[in-house]
Amino acid sequence: MRLLALCAAAAAASLPVAAAPAACTGTVYLTIDTGHMEPAEGMAAILARHGVKATFFLANEKTKRGDTALDPAWAPYWKKLAEAGHAFGSHTWRHWYFAGDSARGKIRYAPMGSTQGEFLDEAALCAELKKPEEAFRAMTGRGFDGLWRAPGGRITPKSVEYAKACGFTHVGWTPAGFSGDELPSDRFPSDKLIERQLRDIKDGDILLWHLGIWSRQDPLWPHLDRLIAGLKARGLCFARLTDDRRWTR
């Protein structure tokens, strides 16, 4: 028995030892806005494979399967992400755009490309931000993390002020972190977009991706796998916005 134990110990000692993870040389923050939702499961699988936690911004956008991103039918998806430990914020309910503040302290809010729309006071803006949170809570049992992002990143002074008053801090993205998934595929091929990000992204950058873009013909999202692996190889680690004290309540 003693001989067998010695042989087993010697065999174990001869096995290669897994390399310890490299220390982080910096931290980046992956954020993902809702979209047409076709790549939702695929992107979630990429995050899980790499052990990356992201921050999702949710709006009730139309999807390719004919419903909306915050329809109760999406409950299993959002619940899975919530249980995986991701962070969540509001992207407004209707995904309209803020187009300016009025002299009366109201905010023009209109669909993209439209001159129509409505004016929001503080209570109406707060309701627009909280409605997706209410839908998310009904599906997952938890609310948002006190963050929001205006559609297109278009904010006004009053929109930021009113949102802050009802518990939401606005977070945009950094130029290097813009994925380009909204850009025309013929002029901005996916390989080139990823090469730029791998070259330019640095410590502290906030990355912007979407759960599907209607206009893009060459989907960028499958290349998220390459981006995460490449940035990790450079020593960059991924964190949620809520892991940084600047973005917590």
CA 64/CA 37 separation, integer angstroms? 7
The number of folded domains in the chain is 1
What pLDDT is stored for residue 249 in this prediction?
A: 55
CA 214/CA 41 separation, integer angstroms? 17
CA 172/CA 176 separation, integer angstroms? 12
Is 41 contained in some domain? yes
Q: What pLDDT digit, counting tens, does each position of 122-178 carry?
A: 999 999 999 999 999 999 999 999 999 999 999 999 999 999 999 999 999 999 999
CA 195/CA 227 separation, integer angstroms? 9
What pLDDT is stored for residue 202 in this prediction?
A: 98
Q: Which residues of the chain register pLDDT less than 50?
A: 1-21
Q: Domain containing 174: what range?
A: 22-91+129-247
Is 102 contained in some domain? no
Residue 215 burial class via C-beta count within 10 angstroms: exposed 0-12, middle 13-18, buried 19 and up:
exposed
Is 4 contained in some domain? no
Is 65 contained in some domain? yes
What pLDDT is stored for residue 114 in this prediction?
A: 84
Is 237 contained in some domain? yes
Contact 29, 240 (CB under 8 A): yes
Is 134 contained in some domain? yes
Is 32 contained in some domain? yes
Is 160 contained in some domain? yes
The CATH number given to whatever domain includes residue 41 is 3.20.20.370
Mean pLDDT, the chain, whole residue set:
91
Tally of residues, the chain: 249
Contact 119, 86 (CB under 8 A): no
